[in-house]
A and B are shown apart, each in its own frame.
Chain A
Amino acid sequence: MNIVETKDVNFYYGDFHALKGVSLDVVKNSVTAFIGPSGCGKSTFLRLLNRMNDLIPDMKLTGKCLINGKDIYDKRVDVDELRKKVGMVFQKPNPFPKTIFENIAYGLRVNGIKDKEFIRNRVEESLKGAALWEEVKDKLSRSAYDLSGGQQQRLCIARALAVKPDILLMDEPASALDPISTSKIEELIFTLKAEYTIVIVTHNMQQAARVSDSTGFFMLGELIEFSETRKMFLNPSKEQTQNYITGRFG
Protein backbone atom coordinates (compact mmCIF):
# COMPACT_ATOMS: atom_id res chain seq x y z
CA MET A 1 0.00 0.00 0.00
CA ASN A 2 1.26 3.47 -0.86
CA ILE A 3 1.49 5.81 2.09
CA VAL A 4 2.94 8.70 0.09
CA GLU A 5 1.90 9.58 -3.44
CA THR A 6 3.13 12.63 -5.31
CA LYS A 7 1.95 13.55 -8.79
CA ASP A 8 3.77 15.98 -11.03
CA VAL A 9 5.10 18.11 -8.19
CA ASN A 10 6.81 21.38 -9.10
CA PHE A 11 8.41 23.52 -6.47
CA TYR A 12 9.78 27.03 -6.74
CA TYR A 13 11.97 29.15 -4.47
CA GLY A 14 10.92 32.53 -5.86
CA ASP A 15 11.80 32.18 -9.54
CA PHE A 16 14.06 29.23 -9.02
CA HIS A 17 12.49 25.98 -10.24
CA ALA A 18 13.80 23.51 -7.65
CA LEU A 19 11.63 20.45 -8.33
CA LYS A 20 10.45 19.62 -11.83
CA GLY A 21 7.48 17.33 -12.27
CA VAL A 22 8.34 14.81 -9.59
CA SER A 23 5.96 11.85 -9.29
CA LEU A 24 6.71 8.99 -6.97
CA ASP A 25 5.03 6.62 -4.53
CA VAL A 26 6.35 5.34 -1.23
CA VAL A 27 5.20 1.96 0.05
CA LYS A 28 4.16 1.66 3.69
CA ASN A 29 6.75 0.16 6.05
CA SER A 30 9.53 0.45 3.52
CA VAL A 31 12.74 2.43 3.41
CA THR A 32 13.10 4.80 0.49
CA ALA A 33 16.43 6.48 -0.19
CA PHE A 34 17.08 9.60 -2.26
CA ILE A 35 20.46 10.11 -3.83
CA GLY A 36 21.84 12.71 -6.20
CA PRO A 37 24.37 15.49 -6.51
CA SER A 38 24.35 18.42 -4.11
CA GLY A 39 21.64 20.97 -4.80
CA CYS A 40 19.45 18.64 -6.88
CA GLY A 41 16.40 19.02 -4.63
CA LYS A 42 16.47 15.99 -2.33
CA SER A 43 16.00 18.00 0.84
CA THR A 44 13.42 20.19 -0.84
CA PHE A 45 11.39 17.13 -1.73
CA LEU A 46 11.72 15.71 1.77
CA ARG A 47 10.56 18.96 3.33
CA LEU A 48 7.50 18.97 1.12
CA LEU A 49 6.24 15.88 2.89
CA ASN A 50 5.97 17.54 6.32
CA ARG A 51 5.36 21.00 4.89
CA MET A 52 8.57 22.35 6.33
CA ASN A 53 8.96 24.39 3.15
CA ASP A 54 5.96 26.44 4.29
CA LEU A 55 8.41 28.39 6.45
CA ILE A 56 10.17 29.74 3.36
CA PRO A 57 8.79 33.03 2.07
CA ASP A 58 8.10 33.20 -1.66
CA MET A 59 7.71 29.48 -2.22
CA LYS A 60 5.30 28.03 -4.75
CA LEU A 61 4.05 24.52 -5.26
CA THR A 62 2.02 22.85 -7.99
CA GLY A 63 0.93 19.24 -8.36
CA LYS A 64 -0.47 16.81 -5.83
CA CYS A 65 1.07 15.50 -2.67
CA LEU A 66 -0.95 12.81 -0.86
CA ILE A 67 -0.27 11.07 2.42
CA ASN A 68 -2.59 8.24 3.41
CA GLY A 69 -4.66 9.24 0.40
CA LYS A 70 -5.22 12.81 1.64
CA ASP A 71 -3.91 15.94 -0.01
CA ILE A 72 -1.60 17.44 2.62
CA TYR A 73 -1.70 20.85 0.95
CA ASP A 74 -5.48 21.05 1.23
CA LYS A 75 -6.60 24.23 3.00
CA ARG A 76 -8.33 22.27 5.73
CA VAL A 77 -5.17 20.42 6.75
CA ASP A 78 -3.77 21.33 10.17
CA VAL A 79 -0.04 21.61 9.55
CA ASP A 80 0.88 20.90 13.18
CA GLU A 81 -1.18 17.69 13.04
CA LEU A 82 0.52 16.70 9.80
CA ARG A 83 3.95 17.15 11.34
CA LYS A 84 3.02 14.83 14.18
CA LYS A 85 2.26 12.16 11.60
CA VAL A 86 5.36 12.90 9.55
CA GLY A 87 8.41 13.17 11.78
CA MET A 88 11.79 14.51 10.73
CA VAL A 89 15.41 14.00 11.67
CA PHE A 90 17.89 16.58 10.47
CA GLN A 91 21.41 16.45 9.10
CA LYS A 92 22.96 18.04 12.16
CA PRO A 93 21.73 16.77 15.52
CA ASN A 94 19.57 19.55 17.00
CA PRO A 95 18.64 18.58 20.55
CA PHE A 96 16.94 21.28 22.61
CA PRO A 97 18.94 22.88 25.44
CA LYS A 98 16.99 20.79 27.92
CA THR A 99 17.53 17.52 29.75
CA ILE A 100 17.56 14.22 27.89
CA PHE A 101 14.17 13.39 29.38
CA GLU A 102 12.63 16.73 28.46
CA ASN A 103 13.91 16.48 24.90
CA ILE A 104 11.89 13.31 24.37
CA ALA A 105 8.90 14.49 26.38
CA TYR A 106 8.71 17.74 24.42
CA GLY A 107 6.67 16.36 21.54
CA LEU A 108 4.18 14.88 24.00
CA ARG A 109 3.90 18.00 26.09
CA VAL A 110 3.22 20.29 23.15
CA ASN A 111 0.49 17.89 22.18
CA GLY A 112 -1.21 18.45 25.50
CA ILE A 113 -0.27 15.17 27.17
CA LYS A 114 0.12 15.70 30.92
CA ASP A 115 -0.08 12.18 32.38
CA LYS A 116 3.35 11.75 34.04
CA GLU A 117 3.26 7.97 34.04
CA PHE A 118 2.37 7.91 30.36
CA ILE A 119 5.14 10.36 29.49
CA ARG A 120 7.72 8.41 31.46
CA ASN A 121 6.79 5.17 29.73
CA ARG A 122 6.82 6.76 26.32
CA VAL A 123 10.23 8.34 26.94
CA GLU A 124 11.66 4.94 27.86
CA GLU A 125 9.99 3.24 24.92
CA SER A 126 11.27 5.87 22.47
CA LEU A 127 14.82 5.75 23.80
CA LYS A 128 14.75 1.96 23.50
CA GLY A 129 13.39 2.32 20.00
CA ALA A 130 16.30 4.55 19.10
CA ALA A 131 18.81 2.14 20.71
CA LEU A 132 19.90 4.76 23.22
CA TRP A 133 18.22 3.60 26.43
CA GLU A 134 21.10 1.52 27.78
CA GLU A 135 23.51 4.43 27.38
CA VAL A 136 21.40 7.12 29.01
CA LYS A 137 18.99 5.45 31.42
CA ASP A 138 20.97 6.62 34.44
CA LYS A 139 21.35 10.20 33.32
CA LEU A 140 17.98 11.24 31.99
CA SER A 141 18.14 14.51 33.90
CA ARG A 142 21.47 15.50 32.40
CA SER A 143 21.63 18.06 29.62
CA ALA A 144 21.29 16.63 26.12
CA TYR A 145 24.42 18.59 25.23
CA ASP A 146 26.44 16.23 27.43
CA LEU A 147 25.91 13.46 24.86
CA SER A 148 28.22 12.69 21.97
CA GLY A 149 27.23 13.70 18.44
CA GLY A 150 26.10 10.17 17.57
CA GLN A 151 24.11 9.89 20.78
CA GLN A 152 22.55 13.29 20.14
CA GLN A 153 21.40 12.14 16.73
CA ARG A 154 19.81 9.00 18.20
CA LEU A 155 18.22 11.27 20.80
CA CYS A 156 16.71 13.28 17.96
CA ILE A 157 15.42 10.06 16.42
CA ALA A 158 13.94 9.07 19.77
CA ARG A 159 12.38 12.51 20.07
CA ALA A 160 10.72 12.03 16.69
CA LEU A 161 9.55 8.51 17.59
CA ALA A 162 7.94 9.71 20.82
CA VAL A 163 5.01 11.30 18.99
CA LYS A 164 4.43 8.02 17.07
CA PRO A 165 4.60 9.30 13.51
CA ASP A 166 3.60 7.16 10.54
CA ILE A 167 6.49 8.38 8.45
CA LEU A 168 10.01 9.32 9.46
CA LEU A 169 11.93 11.66 7.18
CA MET A 170 15.70 11.63 7.60
CA ASP A 171 17.88 14.19 5.84
CA GLU A 172 21.43 12.83 5.78
CA PRO A 173 21.08 11.68 9.40
CA ALA A 174 24.54 10.17 9.57
CA SER A 175 26.61 12.60 7.55
CA ALA A 176 28.00 14.37 10.62
CA LEU A 177 28.82 11.14 12.44
CA ASP A 178 31.71 8.72 12.82
CA PRO A 179 31.55 5.23 11.23
CA ILE A 180 30.46 3.46 14.41
CA SER A 181 27.60 5.87 15.10
CA THR A 182 26.69 5.64 11.43
CA SER A 183 26.38 1.88 11.50
CA LYS A 184 24.30 2.15 14.67
CA ILE A 185 21.91 4.46 12.89
CA GLU A 186 21.78 2.15 9.87
CA GLU A 187 20.90 -0.81 12.09
CA LEU A 188 18.28 1.33 13.70
CA ILE A 189 16.70 2.18 10.37
CA PHE A 190 16.48 -1.50 9.67
CA THR A 191 14.55 -2.25 12.85
CA LEU A 192 12.36 0.86 12.64
CA LYS A 193 11.04 -0.27 9.28
CA ALA A 194 8.72 -2.72 11.00
CA GLU A 195 6.67 0.10 12.47
CA TYR A 196 7.47 3.16 10.42
CA THR A 197 7.82 4.20 6.84
CA ILE A 198 11.21 5.78 6.35
CA VAL A 199 12.39 8.21 3.71
CA ILE A 200 16.08 9.01 3.88
CA VAL A 201 18.37 11.33 1.96
CA THR A 202 21.98 10.24 1.77
CA HIS A 203 25.16 11.06 -0.08
CA ASN A 204 26.57 7.70 0.76
CA MET A 205 25.78 5.25 -2.03
CA GLN A 206 26.69 2.19 0.04
CA GLN A 207 24.39 3.42 2.75
CA ALA A 208 21.51 3.75 0.31
CA ALA A 209 22.25 0.27 -1.00
CA ARG A 210 22.45 -1.18 2.51
CA VAL A 211 19.37 0.28 4.14
CA SER A 212 16.78 0.99 1.48
CA ASP A 213 14.16 -0.97 -0.43
CA SER A 214 13.66 1.63 -3.14
CA THR A 215 15.93 4.39 -4.33
CA GLY A 216 15.23 7.61 -6.16
CA PHE A 217 17.93 9.41 -8.12
CA PHE A 218 17.52 13.18 -8.41
CA MET A 219 19.39 15.51 -10.70
CA LEU A 220 18.83 19.24 -11.23
CA GLY A 221 15.37 19.03 -9.72
CA GLU A 222 14.21 16.06 -11.74
CA LEU A 223 13.58 12.55 -10.53
CA ILE A 224 15.68 10.74 -13.11
CA GLU A 225 15.02 7.22 -11.94
CA PHE A 226 13.05 5.59 -9.16
CA SER A 227 13.08 1.87 -8.63
CA GLU A 228 13.85 -1.03 -6.37
CA THR A 229 17.25 -0.47 -4.77
CA ARG A 230 18.78 -3.70 -6.07
CA LYS A 231 17.79 -2.92 -9.59
CA MET A 232 18.96 0.68 -9.29
CA PHE A 233 22.45 -0.30 -8.23
CA LEU A 234 22.91 -3.45 -10.33
CA ASN A 235 21.12 -2.51 -13.46
CA PRO A 236 19.98 1.11 -13.71
CA SER A 237 17.89 1.92 -16.73
CA LYS A 238 19.19 5.46 -17.32
CA GLU A 239 22.70 6.32 -18.36
CA GLN A 240 22.81 9.32 -15.97
CA THR A 241 22.07 7.03 -13.05
CA GLN A 242 24.76 4.63 -14.15
CA ASN A 243 27.27 7.47 -14.40
CA TYR A 244 26.39 8.87 -11.00
CA ILE A 245 26.49 5.53 -9.22
CA THR A 246 29.82 4.59 -10.71
CA GLY A 247 31.12 8.01 -9.69
CA ARG A 248 31.69 9.62 -13.04
CA PHE A 249 30.17 12.86 -11.80
CA GLY A 250 28.47 14.32 -8.78
Chain B
Amino acid sequence: MSKKLSQQIAFWIFRILGVFVVGILLWILGFIIYNGIGVISFEFIFDAPRDGMLKGGIFPAIVGTFCLIVGSMIVAFPLGVMSAIYTNEYVRDGKISKFIRMMTNNLGSIPSIIFGLFGMALFVNTMSWGDSILAGSFTLGLLALPLVIRTTEEALRTVPDSLRVGSYALGASKLQTIRYVTLPAAFPNIVTGLILSVGRVSGETAPILFTVAAYFLPKLPSSVFDQVMALPYHLYVISTSGTNLEAARPMAYGTALVLITLVLIINFSASLIRKHFSKKLGGH
Protein backbone atom coordinates (compact mmCIF):
# COMPACT_ATOMS: atom_id res chain seq x y z
CA MET B 1 0.00 0.00 0.00
CA SER B 2 1.43 3.38 -0.89
CA LYS B 3 2.34 5.86 1.79
CA LYS B 4 -0.09 8.35 0.41
CA LEU B 5 -3.01 5.93 0.43
CA SER B 6 -2.39 4.77 3.99
CA GLN B 7 -2.15 8.37 5.08
CA GLN B 8 -5.46 9.09 3.44
CA ILE B 9 -7.12 6.11 5.05
CA ALA B 10 -5.83 7.14 8.46
CA PHE B 11 -7.05 10.66 7.84
CA TRP B 12 -10.54 9.41 7.00
CA ILE B 13 -10.66 7.23 10.10
CA PHE B 14 -9.81 10.25 12.25
CA ARG B 15 -12.35 12.36 10.46
CA ILE B 16 -15.14 9.80 10.90
CA LEU B 17 -14.33 9.36 14.57
CA GLY B 18 -14.29 13.12 15.04
CA VAL B 19 -17.65 13.53 13.39
CA PHE B 20 -18.97 10.64 15.47
CA VAL B 21 -18.01 12.32 18.76
CA VAL B 22 -19.49 15.65 17.76
CA GLY B 23 -22.54 13.80 16.51
CA ILE B 24 -23.17 12.11 19.86
CA LEU B 25 -22.85 15.41 21.64
CA LEU B 26 -25.29 17.12 19.31
CA TRP B 27 -27.65 14.20 19.56
CA ILE B 28 -27.79 14.41 23.38
CA LEU B 29 -28.27 18.14 23.24
CA GLY B 30 -30.87 17.90 20.53
CA PHE B 31 -32.73 15.16 22.38
CA ILE B 32 -32.93 17.21 25.58
CA ILE B 33 -33.91 20.38 23.77
CA TYR B 34 -36.51 18.63 21.66
CA ASN B 35 -38.15 17.01 24.66
CA GLY B 36 -37.71 19.83 27.12
CA ILE B 37 -38.36 23.02 25.19
CA GLY B 38 -42.13 22.49 25.32
CA VAL B 39 -42.46 23.07 29.07
CA ILE B 40 -40.07 26.02 29.23
CA SER B 41 -42.05 29.11 30.11
CA PHE B 42 -41.88 32.05 32.45
CA GLU B 43 -43.87 30.08 34.97
CA PHE B 44 -41.57 27.05 34.69
CA ILE B 45 -38.48 29.12 35.44
CA PHE B 46 -39.89 31.44 38.10
CA ASP B 47 -42.52 29.44 39.95
CA ALA B 48 -42.36 26.80 42.66
CA PRO B 49 -43.55 23.28 41.87
CA ARG B 50 -47.04 22.25 42.88
CA ASP B 51 -49.63 19.48 42.39
CA GLY B 52 -47.18 16.66 43.19
CA MET B 53 -44.50 18.47 41.17
CA LEU B 54 -46.46 17.88 37.99
CA LYS B 55 -47.32 21.55 37.65
CA GLY B 56 -45.67 24.85 38.39
CA GLY B 57 -41.96 25.41 37.92
CA ILE B 58 -38.52 24.72 39.30
CA PHE B 59 -37.49 28.11 40.65
CA PRO B 60 -36.49 26.84 44.13
CA ALA B 61 -34.24 24.22 42.53
CA ILE B 62 -32.58 26.83 40.29
CA VAL B 63 -31.96 29.06 43.30
CA GLY B 64 -30.69 26.09 45.30
CA THR B 65 -28.24 25.00 42.64
CA PHE B 66 -27.06 28.59 42.27
CA CYS B 67 -26.43 28.81 46.04
CA LEU B 68 -24.48 25.56 45.93
CA ILE B 69 -22.38 26.73 42.98
CA VAL B 70 -21.42 29.93 44.79
CA GLY B 71 -20.93 28.12 48.08
CA SER B 72 -18.71 25.39 46.69
CA MET B 73 -16.65 28.02 44.84
CA ILE B 74 -16.05 29.85 48.10
CA VAL B 75 -14.92 26.60 49.71
CA ALA B 76 -12.82 25.26 46.84
CA PHE B 77 -11.15 28.47 45.71
CA PRO B 78 -8.90 29.43 48.64
CA LEU B 79 -8.11 25.83 49.58
CA GLY B 80 -7.38 24.69 46.06
CA VAL B 81 -5.39 27.71 44.98
CA MET B 82 -3.27 27.78 48.12
CA SER B 83 -2.56 24.10 47.91
CA ALA B 84 -1.55 24.43 44.25
CA ILE B 85 0.69 27.39 45.07
CA TYR B 86 2.31 25.35 47.79
CA THR B 87 3.08 22.34 45.61
CA ASN B 88 3.99 24.29 42.50
CA GLU B 89 5.84 27.30 43.90
CA TYR B 90 7.27 26.19 47.22
CA VAL B 91 8.18 22.54 47.15
CA ARG B 92 8.36 22.19 43.37
CA ASP B 93 9.71 18.77 42.48
CA GLY B 94 10.44 17.42 45.91
CA LYS B 95 9.08 14.24 47.43
CA ILE B 96 6.46 16.20 49.33
CA SER B 97 4.95 17.69 46.20
CA LYS B 98 4.89 14.28 44.50
CA PHE B 99 3.10 12.88 47.53
CA ILE B 100 0.58 15.71 47.62
CA ARG B 101 -0.02 15.34 43.89
CA MET B 102 -0.61 11.63 44.26
CA MET B 103 -3.06 12.19 47.11
CA THR B 104 -4.87 14.83 45.06
CA ASN B 105 -5.23 12.43 42.17
CA ASN B 106 -6.54 9.76 44.50
CA LEU B 107 -8.98 12.21 45.99
CA GLY B 108 -10.15 12.96 42.46
CA SER B 109 -10.91 9.33 41.72
CA ILE B 110 -13.08 8.69 44.77
CA PRO B 111 -16.71 8.14 43.67
CA SER B 112 -18.88 11.12 44.45
CA ILE B 113 -21.32 9.09 46.58
CA ILE B 114 -18.46 8.56 49.05
CA PHE B 115 -18.05 12.32 49.28
CA GLY B 116 -21.74 12.43 50.03
CA LEU B 117 -21.38 9.94 52.89
CA PHE B 118 -18.31 11.71 54.22
CA GLY B 119 -20.05 15.07 54.01
CA MET B 120 -22.99 13.69 55.91
CA ALA B 121 -20.78 12.22 58.64
CA LEU B 122 -18.57 15.28 59.03
CA PHE B 123 -20.59 18.36 58.16
CA VAL B 124 -24.17 17.28 58.80
CA ASN B 125 -23.60 15.20 61.93
CA THR B 126 -20.24 15.91 63.59
CA MET B 127 -20.29 19.65 62.93
CA SER B 128 -24.06 19.51 63.41
CA TRP B 129 -24.81 21.86 60.55
CA GLY B 130 -27.69 19.58 59.62
CA ASP B 131 -28.89 19.23 56.06
CA SER B 132 -27.92 22.70 54.88
CA ILE B 133 -26.43 24.83 52.13
CA LEU B 134 -23.30 25.01 54.27
CA ALA B 135 -22.88 21.24 54.47
CA GLY B 136 -23.71 20.81 50.78
CA SER B 137 -21.29 23.54 49.72
CA PHE B 138 -18.45 22.02 51.70
CA THR B 139 -19.16 18.57 50.29
CA LEU B 140 -19.34 19.82 46.70
CA GLY B 141 -16.32 22.07 47.34
CA LEU B 142 -14.29 19.07 48.48
CA LEU B 143 -15.38 17.17 45.41
CA ALA B 144 -14.26 20.06 43.20
CA LEU B 145 -11.00 20.47 45.09
CA PRO B 146 -8.82 18.02 43.12
CA LEU B 147 -9.98 19.59 39.87
CA VAL B 148 -9.33 23.09 41.17
CA ILE B 149 -5.88 22.09 42.37
CA ARG B 150 -5.01 20.46 39.08
CA THR B 151 -6.21 23.32 36.90
CA THR B 152 -4.50 25.88 39.16
CA GLU B 153 -1.26 23.96 38.98
CA GLU B 154 -1.54 23.87 35.22
CA ALA B 155 -2.20 27.59 35.18
CA LEU B 156 0.85 28.25 37.35
CA ARG B 157 2.98 26.05 35.15
CA THR B 158 2.13 28.14 32.09
CA VAL B 159 3.83 31.11 33.76
CA PRO B 160 7.37 31.01 32.38
CA ASP B 161 10.17 30.78 34.94
CA SER B 162 11.84 33.75 33.28
CA LEU B 163 9.20 35.96 34.92
CA ARG B 164 9.85 34.57 38.40
CA VAL B 165 13.59 34.87 37.93
CA GLY B 166 13.18 38.42 36.61
CA SER B 167 11.28 39.29 39.75
CA TYR B 168 13.85 37.77 42.11
CA ALA B 169 16.58 39.64 40.24
CA LEU B 170 14.94 42.91 41.30
CA GLY B 171 15.14 41.95 44.95
CA ALA B 172 11.57 40.71 45.27
CA SER B 173 10.97 37.97 47.81
CA LYS B 174 9.36 34.68 46.94
CA LEU B 175 6.04 35.74 48.42
CA GLN B 176 6.10 39.07 46.56
CA THR B 177 6.93 37.25 43.35
CA ILE B 178 3.97 34.92 43.77
CA ARG B 179 1.65 37.72 44.79
CA TYR B 180 2.59 40.32 42.17
CA VAL B 181 3.92 38.33 39.21
CA THR B 182 3.02 34.65 39.17
CA LEU B 183 -0.57 34.84 40.38
CA PRO B 184 -1.61 37.80 38.20
CA ALA B 185 -0.06 36.13 35.17
CA ALA B 186 -1.83 32.86 35.91
CA PHE B 187 -5.07 34.48 37.05
CA PRO B 188 -7.15 34.15 33.86
CA ASN B 189 -6.39 30.44 33.64
CA ILE B 190 -6.94 29.92 37.36
CA VAL B 191 -10.38 31.53 37.24
CA THR B 192 -11.30 29.59 34.13
CA GLY B 193 -10.24 26.33 35.75
CA LEU B 194 -12.14 27.18 38.91
CA ILE B 195 -15.36 27.95 37.07
CA LEU B 196 -15.09 24.83 34.94
CA SER B 197 -14.48 22.66 38.01
CA VAL B 198 -17.44 24.07 39.84
CA GLY B 199 -19.57 23.81 36.72
CA ARG B 200 -18.52 20.19 36.58
CA VAL B 201 -19.66 19.37 40.12
CA SER B 202 -22.81 21.50 40.01
CA GLY B 203 -24.58 18.70 38.17
CA GLU B 204 -23.69 16.06 40.76
CA THR B 205 -26.49 14.41 42.69
CA ALA B 206 -24.78 11.99 45.05
CA PRO B 207 -22.85 14.52 47.17
CA ILE B 208 -25.93 16.65 47.87
CA LEU B 209 -28.25 13.74 48.46
CA PHE B 210 -27.47 13.39 52.19
CA THR B 211 -26.14 16.87 52.85
CA VAL B 212 -28.51 19.50 51.56
CA ALA B 213 -31.01 18.47 48.92
CA ALA B 214 -34.70 18.71 49.79
CA TYR B 215 -37.30 16.48 48.15
CA PHE B 216 -39.91 19.18 48.02
CA LEU B 217 -39.40 22.66 49.48
CA PRO B 218 -41.10 25.49 47.64
CA LYS B 219 -39.79 28.08 50.14
CA LEU B 220 -36.55 29.85 49.24
CA PRO B 221 -33.64 29.56 51.71
CA SER B 222 -33.10 32.39 54.16
CA SER B 223 -29.75 31.33 55.63
CA VAL B 224 -26.86 28.97 54.93
CA PHE B 225 -28.32 26.57 57.46
CA ASP B 226 -31.41 25.98 55.33
CA GLN B 227 -32.05 23.05 53.06
CA VAL B 228 -32.65 23.72 49.39
CA MET B 229 -33.92 21.93 46.35
CA ALA B 230 -31.33 21.42 43.62
CA LEU B 231 -31.69 20.78 39.89
CA PRO B 232 -29.94 17.41 39.59
CA TYR B 233 -31.74 15.95 42.59
CA HIS B 234 -35.07 17.37 41.47
CA LEU B 235 -34.52 15.74 38.10
CA TYR B 236 -33.84 12.44 39.85
CA VAL B 237 -36.89 12.78 42.06
CA ILE B 238 -39.41 13.56 39.35
CA SER B 239 -38.03 10.87 37.07
CA THR B 240 -38.13 8.07 39.63
CA SER B 241 -40.38 8.61 42.57
CA GLY B 242 -43.55 10.39 41.53
CA THR B 243 -47.02 8.89 41.51
CA ASN B 244 -47.40 9.47 37.81
CA LEU B 245 -44.02 9.13 36.11
CA GLU B 246 -45.41 9.47 32.58
CA ALA B 247 -47.01 12.81 33.38
CA ALA B 248 -43.80 14.05 34.98
CA ARG B 249 -41.64 13.28 31.91
CA PRO B 250 -41.94 16.72 30.27
CA MET B 251 -41.08 18.39 33.60
CA ALA B 252 -38.03 16.16 33.85
CA TYR B 253 -36.79 17.08 30.38
CA GLY B 254 -37.43 20.75 31.07
CA THR B 255 -35.36 20.48 34.25
CA ALA B 256 -32.59 18.72 32.33
CA LEU B 257 -32.62 21.48 29.74
CA VAL B 258 -32.31 24.15 32.40
CA LEU B 259 -29.45 22.27 34.10
CA ILE B 260 -27.57 21.81 30.83
CA THR B 261 -28.11 25.44 29.89
CA LEU B 262 -26.82 26.52 33.28
CA VAL B 263 -23.65 24.45 32.89
CA LEU B 264 -23.15 25.73 29.34
CA ILE B 265 -23.55 29.32 30.53
CA ILE B 266 -20.95 28.68 33.22
CA ASN B 267 -18.51 27.21 30.69
CA PHE B 268 -19.16 30.02 28.27
CA SER B 269 -18.59 32.70 30.89
CA ALA B 270 -15.33 30.99 31.82
CA SER B 271 -14.02 31.42 28.31
CA LEU B 272 -15.27 35.02 28.21
CA ILE B 273 -13.43 35.78 31.42
CA ARG B 274 -10.26 34.26 30.07
CA LYS B 275 -10.52 36.28 26.87
CA HIS B 276 -11.17 39.46 28.79
CA PHE B 277 -8.15 39.06 31.04
CA SER B 278 -5.70 37.86 28.45
CA LYS B 279 -6.58 40.87 26.35
CA LYS B 280 -5.90 43.10 29.31
CA LEU B 281 -2.56 41.45 29.91
CA GLY B 282 -1.49 41.87 26.32
CA GLY B 283 -2.37 38.44 25.01
CA HIS B 284 0.55 36.39 26.12
Contacts and interface: CB of A to CB of B under 8 A. Distances in A.
Nearest to B172: A110
A201 to B, nearest CB: 15
B86 to A, nearest CB: 17
A96 B171 contact: no
A80 interface: yes
Interface in A90-115: 90, 92, 94-98, 106-107, 109-111
Interface string B245-284: 0000000000000000000000000000000000001111
Contact of A55 (B165, B171, B176): B165
A97 B173 CA distance: 18
A84 B165 CA distance: 13
Given A90-B162, A94-B163, A97-B184, A83 B169 contact: yes
B170 interface: yes
Interface residues of B, number: 21
B167 A106 contact: yes
Nearest to B93: A57
Contacts of B176: 110
B103 to A, nearest CB: 23
Contact of B180 (A50, A109, A160): A109
A178 interface: no
Contacts of B163: 94, 96-97
Interface string A178-211: 0000000000000000000000000000000000
Given A94-B165, A96-B166, A146 B171 contact: no
A15 to B, nearest CB: 18
Interface string A134-177: 00000000011110000000001001100100000000000000
B171 A107 contact: yes
A238 B19 CA distance: 69
B284 A84 contact: no
Nearest to B281: A97
A80 B171 CA distance: 4
B168 interface: yes
Contact of A96 (B168, B173, B181, B283): B181
B185 interface: yes
Most buried by B among A106, A146, A160: A106
Interface string B136-177: 000000000000000000000000101101111111110010
A143 B284 CA distance: 10
A96 B163 CA distance: 6
Contacts of A82: 171
A239 interface: no
B283 A145 contact: yes
A156 B185 CA distance: 17
Contact of A110 (B165, B180, B184, B282): B180
B282 A88 contact: no
B170 A160 contact: yes
B173 A110 contact: yes
Contacts of A50: 169
Nearest to B187: A97
A36 interface: no
Contact of B171 (A95, A110, A144): A110
Contact of B284 (A88, A107, A145): A145
27 contacts: A50-B169, A52-B168, A80-B173, A83-B168, A83-B169, A83-B171, A88-B169, A94-B163, A95-B166, A96-B163, A96-B166, A97-B185, A97-B281, A98-B281, A106-B167, A106-B170, A106-B172, A106-B180, A106-B181, A110-B170, A143-B281, A143-B282, A145-B282, A145-B284, A159-B170, A160-B170, A163-B171
**Shortest Cβ-Cβ A-B pairs, 8 listed:** A143-B282, A145-B282, A84-B171, A107-B170, A94-B162, A110-B172, A88-B169, A97-B281
Interface of A: 50, 52, 55, 80-84, 87-88, 90, 92, 94-98, 106-107, 109-111, 143-146, 156, 159-160, 163
Interface of B: 160, 162-163, 165-173, 176, 180-181, 184-185, 281-284
